[in-house]
Chains A and B, each alone.
Chain A
Amino acid sequence: MLIVNKGAYQAMTNHAEETFPNECVGFFYGKENDHREIIVSREVKNSKDGDQKRRFEVDPFDYLQAEKFAEKNSLTLLGIYHSHPNHPARPSEHDLKQAVLFFSYIIISVMEGATDKVTSWQLNIHTDQFEEEGIEIKELDKV
């Protein structure tokens, strides 16, 4: 179960809608207890050359900054969000191929500019397949 701070949820969906019809991408941070709690999200530039309507990429330098932000704020880098403009909130084969262990992957489906559905997925270390995890939106203390 992924517990998402209301402010972080709104920031991610706003980012996805503002970036439509292109894909947005960002990181989220929080704490890992019995459940994963996402406290804050941060936008990252989609550095993909070419078709950003169906692809995203994060510059390695931006990833480095994301780890530094987590360390500086005593948070854990818990995963990545990205949008699927005019596509369902399900991971594509391309998402699976590039997936990293441990991270939660939030996918925001944006249909004609409005958020349609938000899902989250984690790679199963044994099967190498994505498994969906539930999302609960709550007010959490910010950093």
Chain B
Amino acid sequence: MAKVIIPTPLRKFTSNLGTIDTNGGTVKENIGSLAEQFPDLKKHIFDENGDIRKFVRIYLGDEDINVLEKENTKVLQDSVISIIPAIAGGSN
């Protein structure tokens, strides 16, 4: 079972849990397993096409999955997946 670290802003959708055990052989399957357990979380991670939202980044350990095999990155039993909200802004 892999673990998914939930960012603080999304913990209100996971009963305030910061770490969730998930199943699956890839990042996509594990995030899907997470969304099945906490359906309210789904719209904050996936867009209407079922793709990971533009403002959400996923890390496997300390690596961005975009430099690995993206959503198809393989996940091991002891892998740690982190969901990271994009943080940006500024005055006009």
Write the residues of chain A forming the contact surface with B, with a CB cutoff of 8 angstroms. 23, 25, 48, 54-58, 60-61, 63-64, 67, 70-71, 76-78, 80, 82, 84-85, 87, 91-95, 98-103, 105
Which residues of chain B are within 8 angstroms of A78 by Cβ–Cβ distance?
Answer: 8
Which residues of chain A are within 8 angstroms of B24 by Cβ–Cβ distance?
Answer: none
The residue from A55, A56, A76, A105 contacting B8, defined by CB atoms under 8 A apart: A76
CA A67 to CA B9, docked complex, whole Å: 11
Which residues of chain A are within 8 angstroms of B88 by Cβ–Cβ distance?
Answer: 48, 55-58, 94, 98
Asked if A100 and B85 sit within 8 Å, CB to CB, the answer is yes
Asked if A99 and B86 sit within 8 Å, CB to CB, the answer is no
**Complex interface residues of chain B between 51 and 92 (CB less than 8 A to chain A):** 55, 57, 59, 62, 64, 82, 84-92
Asked if B86 and A60 sit within 8 Å, CB to CB, the answer is yes
Which residues of chain B are within 8 angstroms of A70 by Cβ–Cβ distance?
Answer: 8
Chain B, residue nearest A76 (CB):
B8
Chain B, residue nearest A90 (CB):
B91
Asked if B8 and A95 sit within 8 Å, CB to CB, the answer is no
Known pairs A67-B82, A87-B92 / 19 extra A-B pairs, C-beta < 8 Å:
A23-B90, A48-B88, A48-B90, A54-B92, A56-B90, A58-B87, A60-B59, A60-B64, A61-B62, A63-B85, A71-B18, A92-B89, A92-B91, A92-B92, A95-B89, A95-B91, A99-B89, A102-B12, A103-B9
**Residues of B contacting A: mostly:** mixed
The residue from B9, B59, B87 contacting A102, defined by CB atoms under 8 A apart: B9
A105 CB → nearest B CB, Å = 8
Tell me which of B11, B57, B84 has the highest count of chain A C-beta atoms within 10 A of its own C-beta. B84
Residues 7-21 of chain B, each 1 if its beta carbon lies under 8 Å from chain A, else 0: 111111000001000
